[in-house]
Amino acid sequence: MTVDRCVVFDLDGVLVMSEHLWEQGWQTVAAEHGYAWSSEDTRTCQGKSVPEWATYLSDRAGMAPQRAADGVISHVASAYDRGEVPLITGALELVRSAASRVPVALASSAPREIIDRVMTTTAIGEYFAATVSSAEVAAGKPAPDVYREAIARLGARSAGSLAVEDSSNGVRAAAAAGLRVLGMEHAQYPIDQDAAGRTVGIYHALDEVTEKLVALLDNR
């Protein structure tokens, strides 16, 4: 049975305040191997799958990709274990509002172990019918693969479906998959102009996103 439409959420920077942790992990592991990680490196890697950013980091820092991946993921996982990764204000209301209207899924660049941590330790987990890591598809964002897989797991159509994203590569991925995208922008990580042009709108708080998302779902 095909679902008429759905909403697909990103994780880092949309539901949990964690974008900075990945950047810190990249910076720390790179520095340990003599490479000065830049903000441009962060922008390049945001949205990429673990194998993709691990290869990028290893090429620059002169280390094995698996060692790069393990070091960064350990940094992020430790922050979760210390209870330092809260839901973003308004995340639960956003997900609950969407799930009361249509099926919802997650399309994240985070590895499966991080996704499962969030789904099992926070109140949002009960609302998701499907979750996909970009490590589970052929290519990470900005390729549309992870969004297409999330839609497929719900049995939904892309036409009429929506996505919420905070990174430029994430916006590009969701738009390429045929979804209408609401951009959640953080001052530290502005969305590139070309990506912003592919969104329904750019918002700076999740209550604004919720208001627009509900309006779009209720007024087809």
114: in domain: yes
Quote the pLDDT of residue 58: 97
Q: What is the mean pLDDT of residues 40-60?
A: 93
1: in domain: no
117: in domain: yes
Separation CA 5–CA 220 (nearest Å): 11
Number of residues that this document lists for the chain: 220
What confidence tens digit (pLDDT) does each residue in 58-81 have?
999 999 999 999 999 999 999 988
In this model, does residue 18 exceed pLDDT 90? no
Cβ atoms of 134 and 153 within 8 Å: the answer is no
Q: What is the mean pLDDT of residues 94-122?
A: 95
Residues 93 and 120 both lie in one domain: yes
Separation CA 16–CA 171 (nearest Å): 17
168: in domain: yes
In this model, does residue 1 exceed pLDDT 60? no
Separation CA 44–CA 53 (nearest Å): 9
Residues 113 and 137 both lie in one domain: yes
Residues 73 and 128 both lie in one domain: no
Residue finishing a domain among 57, 81, 105: 81
Residues 34 and 122 both lie in one domain: no
- Domain span at 58: 19-81
Overall domain count for the chain:
2
In this model, does residue 52 exceed pLDDT 70? yes
Quote the pLDDT of residue 146: 98
43: in domain: yes
